[in-house]
Structure 1
Amino acid sequence: MKPMPILQAAEIQAMIPNRYPICYIDSVTALEPDQFIRAVKNVTINEDFFQGYVPQMMPNTLLIETLAQAASILILKSPQFAHKTAYLGSVTKAEFLKPVVPGDVLVLEITLTKVRQNMGVVHTQALVDGEMICQAELHFVVGATD
């Protein structure tokens, strides 16, 4: 049984500045502010990055962007960062294990591991059918919205 979304695309777009064609989060299925988020990205053949890209796999940079978008939702759901914007500062310990291809349903799991003033660190992983596809540590800076 598929988990019910607790945040839909419209609610996600109200939180983060990303818009088509670079808004990659379709729904959030679990959220514990200041701790954990599980989000979903349905990968379809219609994605603009598949047009002319050979082999037909999601570029690793966009996989990191997708993880960063899910992480920013988690960070911005923390009371001290409400109504702000999260910016990706750096990526460390990134490991890509398998390609992401059209038809995959990416499950993104992000755990907030450290917060200090306006900065944070998250551990991220992307799974397809329960198998880890990618993991990385992302560092964020949170600033005022424009």
Structure 2
Amino acid sequence: MLDHEPGEFLRSMFAVSAEMGALSGHLPERGLTPGAILPGSHTMQAFAQSGVLLYQLSSAPLADDEATLVGTVKSRFLAPVVPGDQVVIDVRADRLSGRTFAFSAAATVEGRSVAGFRGAMSRVRLDPAKARPW
């Protein structure tokens, strides 16, 4: 995390390494970070994790019987991300209403836009009588 203001924004960064598993065998002649590979790209994962952090910093930490579920994500990948890049994710709180949080983000490399995201998540209570989903 680089900077944040609860209820407003969170700025984070991740460095792209040629050693990332997603790059292995993906366009071997040219290391590109895939925009969307199963189970998801590193950039989208960084967006979701940054959103979870902003949500918790803007409300309250999760209780022992709660989990955060990202319900929807819309993404647009605008430019390639390559090993050596440092991707800055600037997440904005769009709406916080009860147990639901809507957020958006811009991903940049050296000030150049590489992706944009919109998402929503919610807190859910886990039934302690049931087996944990993980």
Question: Which TM-score band applies after superposition, normalised by the shorter structure?
Answer: 0.7 to 0.9
Alignment correspondent of 2:45 = 65
Q: When you count helix as a share of all residues, which structure comes out higher? A: 1
| Whole-angstrom CA distance in 2 between matches of 1:75 and 1:39 | 14
The higher radius of gyration belongs to: 2
Alignment correspondent of 1:13 = none
Alignment correspondent of 1:21 = none
Pair 1:88 & 2:70 matched: yes
Give the unaligned 5+ runs of structure 1: 1-27
Identity of aligned residues (%): 21
TM-score (norm 1): 0.73
Ranges of 4+ aligned residues in structure 1 off by more than 3 Å? none
Alignment correspondent of 1:109 = 90
TM-score (norm 2): 0.79
Structure 1 residue 144 displacement after superposition: 4.3
- SS of 1:59's partner is coil
CA RMSD, 1 decimal:
1.6
| Whole-angstrom CA distance in 2 between matches of 1:144 and 1:129 | 40
Task: Write out aligned runs for 1:1-146 (5 A).
Answer: 28-54=1-27, 55-61=30-36, 62=41, 63-79=43-59, 81-83=60-62, 84-92=66-74, 94-144=75-125
Alignment correspondent of 2:129 = none
Structure 1 residue 59 displacement after superposition: 2.0
Q: How many aligned positions are there?
A: 117
Give the unaligned 5+ runs of structure 2: 127-131
- SS of 1:112's partner is strand
Q: Which has the higher contact order (CA 8 A, sep 6+)?
A: 2
- SS of 2:32's partner is coil
